[in-house]
Amino acid sequence: MLRTSAARLPGKEALVHGDRRLTYDDAWSATGGIAQGLRKAGIERGDRIGIYLDASIEQSLSMFAISRAGGAYVPINGVLFPDQVGHIATDCRMRGLVTSAQKLESIAPILGGIPSLEYLIVTGSDGATVPSDITLPIHSFEAFASKPSSGPEPEASISKDLAAILYTSGSTGKPKGVMLSHANIMAGATIVSTYLEITENERILAVLPFSFDAGMNQIMTAFQQGATCVLKPFVFAREIVTALRDEKITGLAGVPTLWSLLTQPSSSLHKSAYPHLRYITNTGGAMPQDVLAALRKMLPTTNVFLMYGLTEAFRSTYLPPSELDRRPTSMGKAIPDTEIILVDSDGRRCGPGETGELVHRGPTVSMGYWGQPELTAERLRPNPFVPRELGNDEKVCYSGDLVRMDEDGFLYFVGRRDNMIKSSGFRISPTEVEEVLFQSGRVQMAAVIGVPDAVLGQTITAFVVPAEGNSLDEEALRSHCAEKMPPYMTPKVFEILERMPRTSSGKVDYPALRRRVGL
């Protein structure tokens, strides 16, 4: 993708980070030098090379350079702690690691516990003091990037080869590595570019981490189409608002927590017009209806695409903006070149109105979990509806998500198979309860879990973060729920938090909430 765009649009702006701006020709040249340096450091085809950096041009170039050198990149969220980095590196038998001089100091104590690690590529290492207990060879990222590539390119990977491993948290246990092939990544970029109509004219604001599949797709779609990717790490909503305006951003992807932040009064999103902002997309969870309404009011000329996906199969469905008024709570229909099947507990296809597990079929189904064949076999199974004559070597992804379909074929999320709450004999979707909490206008964030109860089976516990300027009245919130839901759905316990725990990709960290109540 980078090679093609560099040949077609060499002087086009490819990457922006703060005051730094690289053209496609710059990016192609730098990745060539880095790839050549990696080969001299000892990379072999298929080696896993970690990237432990904050959002930066160096992080972006590393993914393409590692691929160009024949390796598989492993993006590690820059906010993870050393022990978490150590788990990922040890689990995938990482051979090399790209990091910064600052982060190297923090992870130095755990490097000796990674037996597979043979070398480091460090940014900002010139003049930096290397911790004395590091014995691994250290190479300068800048020195690699500045040298022109010479000699033949290494043996090319093919579409079925491992391209990347993305580590994703589960409901229990340590993060597991989802293996993506080059074909998976290319298909994801092509499919998203198709239904979002992304062209070389886009300026895409990348705020989600590249260790998150939707975040990585921002740069992949940009580079495939020859568009510009603007990298924007942020702390406050106003930083995103400023970037939207100053960089004339045309596309932005986010998760519900981001949209909630942007629609708070302090974000100033409502104070400006954004004539260039053609679309925004939501993934990583259902967008609360009041937040959706606020966004549509603040961004009247911007198309809103609601999407659903999972790391193991990337993106599964999307709802076109034309359907928002009629079906604002729908996940939409299958993305291009993909089939979505709903299967009940007996393995039968579900009809309209029936709830079943979402099964994803298409070119973005991953290669499975690194080093976990049993877990892979549980999630990726033979297609149950393939005619016998065709054989059955195709794998489809069983999502674990419960979904229903309406008469027109539009899909609606019901809940996770392992997150559904059963109380007083009723099965309850946490998402449905959360939506009612958001409708109160009193909360900025809400998350609901079931807590074991000897009488009820489970009691509904709601964790809420008050909206800005709102001193949350628990009884008023309880009364609101009682007006909107039957008694069995109304939370029995409310816990008010200053800050909602989140995963490294910005989603609500439900396992952390369960741990708070001893689960």
Region 59-66 average pLDDT: 98
DSSP state of 502: B
| 135 domain residue, yes or no | yes
In this structure, what CATH number is given to the domain that contains residue 127? Answer: 3.40.50.980
**Domain around 450:** 419-516
Any idea what the CATH number is for the domain that residue 508 is in?
A: 3.30.300.30
Residue 374 belongs to some domain of the structure: no
| Residue carrying structure tokens 């009629």 | 326
Question: In this structure, is residue 211 part of a structural domain?
Answer: no
pLDDT score for 173: 60
Among 106, 126, 157, the domain boundary falls at 157
Residue 295 lies in a domain: no
* pLDDT confidence bin for 265, thresholds 50/70/90: confident
Q: Determine, yes or no, domain membership for 87.
A: yes
In a domain, 411, yes or no: no
The answer to whether residue 306 is domain-embedded is no
Q: Check residue 74 and give its pLDDT.
A: 98
What are 235-244's contacts with CB under 8 Å, separation 24+? 237/261, 237/262, 237/264, 237/266, 237/267, 237/268, 237/269, 238/266, 238/267, 238/268, 240/205, 240/207, 240/267, 241/267, 241/268, 241/269, 241/272, 243/205, 244/205, 244/274, 244/277
Q: Which of 157, 172, 192 is the last residue of a domain?
A: 157
Higher local confidence (pLDDT), 261 or 252: 252
Q: How many domains does the chain have?
A: 2
Between 428 and 143, name the one with better pLDDT: 143
Mean pLDDT of 471-488: 85
Q: Is the pLDDT of residue 35 over 50?
A: yes
* % helix, strand, coil for the chain, step of 5: 35, 30, 40
Q: pLDDT confidence of 171, banded at 50, 70, 90?
A: very low
Q: What is the pLDDT of residues 307-343, one digit of tens each?
A: 999 999 999 999 999 999 999 999 999 999 999 999 9
pLDDT in tens, 421-433: 878 767 688 888 8
CA distance linking residue 73 with residue 64, whole number of Å: 9
170-179, 401-410, 483-492, range with the lowest pLDDT = 170-179
Average pLDDT, the chain: 92
Whole-number pLDDT of residue 235: 79
Average of pLDDT values for 451-464?
A: 86
Last residue of a domain, one of 117, 136, 157: 157
Query: For position 204, what pLDDT does the model report?
Result: 98
Over residues 21-37, the mean pLDDT reads 97
